[in-house]
Homo-oligomer: A and B are copies of this chain.
Amino acid sequence: MRYPNGTGKNNRQPMPNTRENNGYSNRGMTLEEDINVTNTYYLAAEKAIIHKKPTPVQIVKVHYPKRSAAVITEGYFKQPSTTDYNGLYRNKYIDFEAKETKNKTRFPLANIHEHQITHMKSIVEHGGICFLIIRFAVYNESYFLPAAKLFPYWDAKNNGGKKSISYERIKQEGFLIPFHFQARINYLAVIDHYYFSSKQD
């Protein structure tokens, strides 16, 4: 495994928005890249099995050239019907969505879709661990917001309430995700604390 530059065999699907990894600093990597590197580490260290789901593509035309691989010549991006990441940790089903915002004061709920909330509510009802990772790019801070704490804001928005959650509220109700050299977005540490320790808030 060629780590930590993110070219290990478990690191799937290079993203179009890939930027240079400037050494050990967290700067310059997107949230998605950081999470992918983290998941690759978790997998190699046998801590958890979490994968990003492939981008859903509606395939319309495929060309089959002789002696070489099939080429998709017409396809369209589809709206994902669930969340981006899921997997298994400490016998529990894990499911989450990751969102990055450049906003300094709030996280706009327009970043999430109704059907994703429906999915997240089902996950919680069936005993899964479900959450949102929100990065405030300006502060280079990523927060872990348990799904159960997201739902009241969503429901309020649907009833004419605010269309965003303030940065302050996320700081209060969420958990700042610690940086770890190999697990750059070390969200399992938050899961350990919040779901597996007895002192759940």
Of the residues B69, B93, B119, contact of A93 by C-beta under 8 Å: B93
Q: Does A126 contact B90, Cβ atoms closer than 8 Å?
A: yes
Q: Does B55 contact A57, Cβ atoms closer than 8 Å?
A: yes
A58 within 8 A of B: yes
In the complex, A4→B195 CA distance in Å?
38
Tell me whether A75 and B78 are in contact in the complex, defined as CB-CB below 8 angstroms, given that A16-B59, A54-B57 are known contacts: no
Tell me whether A122 and B49 are in contact in the complex, defined as CB-CB below 8 angstroms, given that A55-B54, A72-B74, A75-B57 are known contacts: yes
Which of A9, A69, A86 neighbours the largest number of chain B CB atoms within 10 Å of its CB?
A86
Of the residues B53, B55, B89, B93, contact of A59 by C-beta under 8 Å: B55
Q: Which residues of B contact A70 (CB under 8 A)?
A: 76-77
- Name the CB-closest residue of B to A82: B51
Q: Does B59 contact A59, Cβ atoms closer than 8 Å?
A: no
A10 within 8 A of B: yes
Q: Does B82 contact A76, Cβ atoms closer than 8 Å?
A: no
A128 within 8 A of B: yes
A13 within 8 A of B: yes
A91 within 8 A of B: yes
Q: Which residues of B contact A69 (CB under 8 A)?
A: 76-77
Q: Does A86 contact B89, Cβ atoms closer than 8 Å?
A: no
In the complex, A75→B74 CA distance in Å?
8
Within 8 A of B (CB), among A120-164: 122-123, 125-128
Q: Which residues of B contact A12 (CB under 8 A)?
A: 56, 78, 81
- Name the CB-closest residue of B to A94: B93
Q: Which residues of B contact A16 (CB under 8 A)?
A: 59, 62
Besides A46-B122, A70-B76, 12 other A-B contacts (C-beta < 8 A): A9-B81, A49-B123, A51-B81, A54-B55, A70-B77, A71-B76, A72-B72, A72-B74, A72-B76, A86-B86, A91-B127, A92-B93
